Chains A and B, each alone.
Chain A
Amino acid sequence: MAANKVKIATTSLAGCFGCHMSFLDIDERLLTLAEVVEFDRSPLTDIEHCGPCDIGLIEGGVCNSENVHVLREFRNNCKILVAVGACAINGGLPALRNFFKLEDCLLEAYQDGIGVDNPQIPNDPELPLLLDKVRPIHEIVKIDYFMPGCPPSADVFWTFLSALIEGRDPNLPYALVHYD
Chain B
Amino acid sequence: MSGTLIIDGQTIPFSAGQTVIEAARTAGVYIPHLCHRPGYTPHGSCKLCTVTVNGRTCSACTYPAADGQTVVSNSPEQQQDRLRITQMLFVEGNHFCPSCEKSGNCQLQGVAYHLHMLDNHFPHFYAQREMDASHPDILIDHNRCIFCNLCVRASKEKDGKEVFGIAGRGINKRLIINSPSGLLKDSDISIDDSAAHVCPTGAILIKRSGYQVPIGERIYDHHPISEVACNAADTITEGNHGC
Contact = CB atoms under 8 A, between A and B. Distances in A.
A, B from the same assembly: yes
Interface of A: 83, 86, 89-93, 95-96, 98-99, 133, 135-136, 138-139, 143, 145-148, 150, 172, 174-175, 177-180
B119 A92 contact: no
Interface in B58-117: 90-91, 94-100, 103-104, 109, 112-113, 116-117
The 7 closest A-B CB pairs, nearest first, are: A150-B98, A179-B97, A146-B119, A146-B118, A180-B103, A98-B126, A180-B97
A139 B123 contact: yes
Interface string B118-154: 1111011010100000000000000000000000000
21 contacts: A86-B97, A86-B98, A89-B119, A91-B124, A91-B126, A93-B99, A95-B124, A95-B126, A135-B124, A136-B124, A146-B118, A150-B97, A172-B116, A174-B113, A174-B224, A175-B222, A177-B113, A177-B118, A178-B113, A179-B103, A180-B97
Contacts of B126: 91, 95, 98-99, 133
A174 B95 CA distance: 20
B119 A93 contact: no
Contacts of B128: 99
A90 B124 contact: yes
Contact of A148 (B91, B118, B224): B118
Nearest to A170: B118
Contacts of B90: 90
Nearest to A173: B116
B105 to A, nearest CB: 11
Contact of B98 (A93, A139, A147): A93
Contact of A95 (B96, B112, B224): B96
Contacts of A145: 118
Contact of A139 (B94, B99, B124, B222): B124
Contacts of A91: 124, 126
Nearest to B126: A98
A93 B118 contact: no
B119 A179 contact: no
A136 B120 CA distance: 10
Given A90-B120, A98-B126, A180-B103, 14 more contacts: A86-B96, A89-B118, A90-B124, A92-B96, A93-B96, A133-B126, A138-B121, A146-B119, A148-B119, A172-B116, A174-B113, A177-B113, A179-B109, A180-B100
A82 to B, nearest CB: 11
B96 to A, nearest CB: 6
Nearest to A96: B96
Nearest to A178: B113
Contacts of A177: 113, 116-118
Nearest to A18: B98
Q: Which residue among A135, A138, A180 has the maximum number of chain B CB atoms within 10 Å of its CB?
A: A180
Nearest to B112: A179
Contacts of A147: 118
Contacts of A92: 96, 98
A99 B224 CA distance: 33
Contacts of A133: 126
A178 B222 CA distance: 11
B205 to A, nearest CB: 16
A180 B102 CA distance: 10
B123 to A, nearest CB: 6
A147 B117 CA distance: 10
A21 B208 CA distance: 31
B43 to A, nearest CB: 26
Contacts of B112: 179
Contacts of A93: 96, 98-99
Q: Which residue among B95, B116, B126, B224 has the maximum number of chain A CB atoms within 10 Å of its CB?
A: B126
